[in-house]
Amino acid sequence: MGSNTISDNAIMEALGRQMTRAVARQTVTAGNLANLETPGYRAKEVTFASALDAQLNQTSAPVATHKAHFGAASATEGAVQEKTGVGSRRDGNNVQVDQELLGLASAAGDFSKAQTVLSAKFRLIRYAINEAR
């Protein structure tokens, strides 16, 4: 097995991370939509790039080889931050329905893509098991 080989475990973990990211984005977007009429509410977003940068910049800290080691936070968790560059209404709320619905659809699409690949992977496994009989 060469060093460039991608294992089944790595593929499954990547798909799991993709699905987790999509669910996090959907959760935050649903919260924004729920607060559409709340005066002063500031829309939030999940930013994975900042969480990844934080992980990569921790060169002096021990590196976790498993997500449970050292209570390590992973880049899949992301960081929930206030959206920037979004105009506010007179009541101070900056939730924009069209952006939130677009974000919700995008996250649902990302989840669906990962789910489709995962389903195909399990079909291959089921096929291999059934053909071995």
**Block mean pLDDT (10 aa), the chain, length 133:** 71 90 94 95 85 60 53 58 90 94 95 93 88 75
Contact between residue 99 and residue 47 where contact means Cβ atoms under 8 Å apart:
no
pLDDT at 70 (0 to 100): 44
Counted residue by residue, the chain has a size of 133
pLDDT at 23 (0 to 100): 94
Contacts of 67 (CB under 8 A, 6+ apart): 74
Measure the CA–CA gap between 4 and 26, rounded to whole angstroms: 34
pLDDT at 66 (0 to 100): 56
Phi and psi for 37 in degrees, rounded to 5? -105, 10
pLDDT at 64 (0 to 100): 57
Model pTM above 0.75: no
Please give the angle made by the CA atoms of 114, 73 and 15, to the nearest 5 degrees. 10
pLDDT at 11 (0 to 100): 86
Query: Which residue is associated with the tokens 């990211």?
Result: 21
Query: Token pair for residue 107?
Result: 């996250």
Please give the angle made by the CA atoms of 72, 78 and 80, to the nearest 5 degrees. 125
Strands, E assignment, the chain = 44-47, 79-82
pLDDT at 75 (0 to 100): 46
pLDDT at 79 (0 to 100): 85
